Structure 1
Amino acid sequence: MSDGSDVTATPAPTEVRFQHSADLPRLLADAGCALLVSTYQAGQVVGVGTAGESLTFSFRRFDRAMGMAVGVDRLAVAGKDQVWILRDHSDLAPAMAPTGTHDRCWLPRSSLVTGNISAHEVAWGRTSAGDPDLWVVNTRFSCLVGLDDRHSFVPRWRPSFISRLAPEDRCHLNGLAMRDGGPAFVTVMALADEAGGWRADRNQTGTVLDVASGEVVTTGLAMPHSPRWHRGQLYVLNSGMGRLERVDPASGQRDVVALLPGYARGLAMYGDLAFVGLSRIRETTTFGGTPLAPYHDQLRCGVGVVELSTGRTVGTLEFANGVEEIFDVQVVAGTRSPTFGGSADDGDDVWVLPAQAEPA
C-alpha cells in the first residue's frame, strides 16, 4: 500500500488521506480510464485519475452526493433535494490546477429541484430520437422517474406490488441496470408495500426485478445494490455479505465472483474489471444486524478493483480518514485525469462565455 506521499490532489474542504495498492495508477492507465466516486456522508464527488506513476484527485462538494451518470458530454449527480447537471468543458481541463495535469473537466450548469425523494442511482438512457434521457431511482416513492422543468418528478415505472405512489420508502428501490438505452433491472430490499416495510427482514429479502416483466429474477440477498448489465451478463452487489455476484436471469442462480472487505455499494464495469465501492458500516437502524456487522473493525472504505475472469482483487484505493461510506462508482472511459474546475469551497471560480461575448 502507498503511504499517500505520491498523491497529487486539488484542495479538499477537509483533509482526506488515501492509501492505495502500488499498481493502481498503472492499472488505470493501462485500462485507459479514470474513476468518479461519490460519498454522501462527506458530501463529495471525487475524480480519481493518473499523472505519470501517481494518482490524481479532484473534489467537488455536493450536498449528500449519491448516484452519478456519465454521459457523452454531461454528468448527472443526485444530491439532496435536487439533481445536478454538469457539462463537459474538457477544452479547459489543461488550464485547471495543477496546470497540465487534467484532460477532462465538468462544470455545473443547472439543477432540477425534486424535493426530498431520496434519489439513489441515476442513469443516462436514450429517447426514441436518440437524445440523452435521464432515469432516476426515486427511493422514497418506490419508483423510477424522469425529470422536467415543471414537476418534482415524472413517474415512469414502479414494481407491480407497489399499490400506489406514496413518500414512504416501502421496498427501498435503490439500484438500476440499463440495457440498450433503457432500464432493464432494479434492486429492492424487500417485496413490501407498506411504509418502511423493507426493514422487517432486510438481510434475507433483497431482490432483483426485471423491469419489462416486473417478475423476480433472484431473491434472498442481503440489502442488494448496483445491478449492472455488462457484456451480456447480469451482476449485482450482495451488499450486506460484501459480495460481487453474477446472476443467471433465466434461473435466478447466483455465483460469487468476489468477496470484498466492506459493505459493497457502487459498481462500475469496464472490460474485464469491476470497480466496487466499499463502505465501513455503522451500528444504526439501517446497518444493525447486517451479516458484515460482526466484522466492522476489519472493513474498509474505498474502491476494490476485481478482475472478472478470475475474481481476484487486483487493485485497491482506501480512504484512511475523512470518508466512511461510498455510494457510487463510475468509470470515465478514455480519460486520464478528470477535474471539476473551481468551486465555491476554494473560491477559484470558473466562468465560461460564448466565443463572441462582447457586443458588436
Structure 2
Amino acid sequence: MTRTTVTVKLKRRSASRLPNPFSPMSQSSNTSVQPGQAIACSISDSFISWMSQAQGAIALTTYQANKVAFIAWNGQQVTLLMRQFPKPMGLAVGEQCLALATREQVYIFANAPQLANSYLEDQPGRYDTLYLPRVVYFTGDLNTHDLVFGQDCLWLVNTRFSCLARLSNQFNFIPHWQPKFISQLVPEDRCHLNGLALVNNRPKYVTALGESDVVGGWRADKATGGILIDVENSDILLRGLSMPHSPHWHQGYLWLLNSGKGELWRVHPQTLQHDVVCILPGFLRGLTFVGSYALVGLCQIRERHIFGNLPVQERFRQLLCGVAIVDLQNGQTVGMLEFTAGCQELYAVQFLPSVFRPNILNAERVEIYQAFTAPGIDYWLRPSAEIQD
C-alpha cells in the first residue's frame, strides 16, 4: 500500500484576522493551539482514491489533542481542517446540523451554506458548508461519550452517571434509562457506559465496560468484563467483551468495536452470534458506515494505567492512531489515514454526505458574531458590506 507522509504545522494566529484554516494536507493548517505543536499524517494512495469517490467528508474528534477535524476531497486533493474544542468526544450528524459533546458543554451547530460560500471574501466558493454554533447546553462534566440524534431528541450517553439522558433547559440533564444493575444515579462512573445504537430511531443497544454498581468498578476486569445491553428490556445480551465501544445498526446487523482486541464485530441480532470482520492494529473507537464500507477509528494507548495490558497490545508490537477504511464484503483494509505525531487517540468518527469543503467555527472565532441567518436571509456583517459615507 503506497503511502504519502505530510506534516500539518499548527501555529497561533491573531483573532482579529480572518484565517484560512482549510488547507490541502500537503500545506499548513492553522488553528488555536500551542505554538510549535505539529500533527503529522500519513495517508495511503488508496485512501486518497476512496475519498475522491466517496461523495462526502469524514469528521472526527480527538479529545487528547482537543480537536475536531474534517477530512475531505475538494475535487483535486485530500484536505484537512482542525478546530480547537475542550475535550471533544461524542459527535452526532443530523439534517444540516451537528451536535458535539465537550468537557462541560454540548454544542448544536447549524449549517449556513450561503455564508460558507462567501466566508473568504477573496476566495468565494472555498467552502460549501459552514457549521455555526447555535445552542450551547451547559451540562457540567458528565464525561459524555456517544451522542445520537433520535426522532425527536438528542440522546446522550452520560458516562459519569451511568445512564442515557436528554438535554434540558432547566437541568444539567434528564435521565431516561439506566442499566438494571445500577442502583442509583451518582457521579461515580460505575460501569463506564459509553456507546449507543438506535434502531428505528429509538435507543436499542448500549455498550459498557463492566457490570458494576460501585464507583469505578469496571476497571477491575476491563480486558474481559465488557457487556452489550438491550435497552428495551435491560437484558445483558453479551458478556466477556474487551472494552467495547461504538455500537451501530447497519444493513440489518449490529456492529460494534471489541476495542481491547482491535476487532470489528458484526452481530446477528436474532442469534447474537458474531463474526470478526477484521482485526486492526489499534484500540478501536469510532465507527460509521458508507455503503459497503466501514470507517473505523484506531487509537494508541496513552493512559496505560487505565487501558494497559489489553489483548491488542499482545497482538501488535505497535498500535496506530488514524482512520481505516474497511471493505465489509471481505474485511480488507482498503485505505488508511494515520496520525504519526501530535495525535494519539480518537473518539468519534462520522461521515458527512454531500459535503466536500466543510468548515466549522468554535466559540472563540470572531466570525460567529459577524454571521447572520434567518429564513431567507444570509448576511455577513463586515466593513465591506456596510454603507460607506
Name the TM-score class by shorter chain.
Answer: over 0.9
Offset at residue 51 of structure 1 (A): 1.8
Aligned residues: 352
Instruction: Kindly indicate whether the alpha-carbon contact (under 8 Å) linking 2:5 and 2:40 is maintained by their aligned counterparts in 1.
Output: no
1:110-154 deviation per Cα after TM superposition (whole angstroms, max 9, x unaligned): 210111111001010112xxxxx1000000110000001110000
Identical positions, percent: 39
CA distance in structure 2 between the aligned counterparts of 1:17 and 1:138, rounded to whole angstroms: 33
Matched with 2:93 is 70
Offset at residue 289 of structure 1 (A): 1.3
Matched with 1:134 is 154
2:175 is matched by which residue type in structure 1? P
Matched with 1:11 is 30
Matched with 1:195 is 215
1:32 is matched by which residue type in structure 2? Q
Instruction: Kindly indicate whether the alpha-carbon contact (under 8 Å) linking 1:40 and 1:327 is maintained by their aligned counterparts in 2.
Output: yes
Matched with 2:11 is none
RMSD: 2.1
CA distance in structure 2 between the aligned counterparts of 1:102 and 1:312, rounded to whole angstroms: 33
CA distance in structure 1 between the aligned counterparts of 2:181 and 2:80, rounded to whole angstroms: 43
CA distance in structure 1 between the aligned counterparts of 2:351 and 2:156, rounded to whole angstroms: 19
Please state if 1:100 is matched with 2:125. Answer: yes
Offset at residue 301 of structure 1 (A): 0.6
Q: Which moved more, 1:46-55 or 1:294-303?
A: 294-303
Instruction: Kindly indicate whether the alpha-carbon contact (under 8 Å) linking 1:25 and 1:53 is maintained by their aligned counterparts in 2.
Output: no
Offset at residue 94 of structure 1 (A): 2.8
Which consecutive aligned stretches of 4+ in structure 1 deviate over 6 angstroms post-superposition? none
1:191 is matched by which residue type in structure 2? E
Q: Which moved more, 1:102-111 or 1:193-202?
A: 102-111
Please state if 1:331 is matched with 2:331. Answer: no
* Map 1:1-360 → 2, pairs under 5 A: 1-4=3-6, 7=25, 10-12=29-31, 13=33, 14-96=37-119, 99-127=124-152, 133-282=153-302, 284-294=304-314, 298-341=318-361, 344=364, 351-354=370-373, 355=377
Q: Larger Rg: 1 or 2?
A: 2
Q: TM-score by structure 1 length?
A: 0.92
Offset at residue 53 of structure 1 (A): 3.6
Q: Closer, same or farther in 2 for the Cα pair 1:209/1:57, shift >3 Å?
A: same
1:73-113 deviation per Cα after TM superposition (whole angstroms, max 9, x unaligned): 21110000111111111222233456533222201122101
Name the SS for the 2:4 alignment partner. coil
Q: Closer, same or farther in 2 for the Cα pair 1:294/1:113, shift >3 Å?
A: same
Q: Closer, same or farther in 2 for the Cα pair 1:213/1:326, shift >3 Å?
A: same
Name the SS for the 1:24 alignment partner. helix
Name the SS for the 1:229 alignment partner. strand
Q: Which moved more, 1:324-333 or 1:15-24?
A: 15-24
Name the SS for the 1:174 alignment partner. strand
Q: Closer, same or farther in 2 for the Cα pair 1:68/1:277, shift >3 Å?
A: same
Instruction: Kindly indicate whether the alpha-carbon contact (under 8 Å) linking 1:48 and 1:337 is maintained by their aligned counterparts in 2.
Output: no
Offset at residue 334 of structure 1 (A): 1.6
Matched with 2:15 is none
Instruction: Kindly indicate whether the alpha-carbon contact (under 8 Å) linking 2:51 and 2:78 is maintained by their aligned counterparts in 1.
Output: no
Instruction: Kindly indicate whether the alpha-carbon contact (under 8 Å) linking 2:243 and 2:259 is maintained by their aligned counterparts in 1.
Output: yes
Offset at residue 325 of structure 1 (A): 0.3
Name the SS for the 1:27 alignment partner. helix
CA distance in structure 2 between the aligned counterparts of 1:16 and 1:96, rounded to whole angstroms: 25
CA distance in structure 2 between the aligned counterparts of 1:283 and 1:149, rounded to whole angstroms: 35
Q: Closer, same or farther in 2 for the Cα pair 1:340/1:9, shift >3 Å?
A: farther
Q: Which moved more, 1:138-147 or 1:277-286?
A: 277-286
Instruction: Kindly indicate whether the alpha-carbon contact (under 8 Å) linking 2:142 and 2:158 is maintained by their aligned counterparts in 1.
Output: yes
CA distance in structure 1 between the aligned counterparts of 2:362 and 2:242, rounded to whole angstroms: 40
Instruction: Kindly indicate whether the alpha-carbon contact (under 8 Å) linking 2:64 and 2:343 is maintained by their aligned counterparts in 1.
Output: yes
1:223 is matched by which residue type in structure 2? M
CA distance in structure 1 between the aligned counterparts of 2:282 and 2:319, rounded to whole angstroms: 5
1:104 is matched by which residue type in structure 2? T
Offset at residue 235 of structure 1 (A): 0.4
Name the SS for the 1:292 alignment partner. helix
CA distance in structure 2 between the aligned counterparts of 1:257 and 1:309, rounded to whole angstroms: 9
Instruction: Kindly indicate whether the alpha-carbon contact (under 8 Å) linking 1:9 and 1:56 is maintained by their aligned counterparts in 2.
Output: no
CA distance in structure 1 between the aligned counterparts of 2:260 and 2:202, rounded to whole angstroms: 28
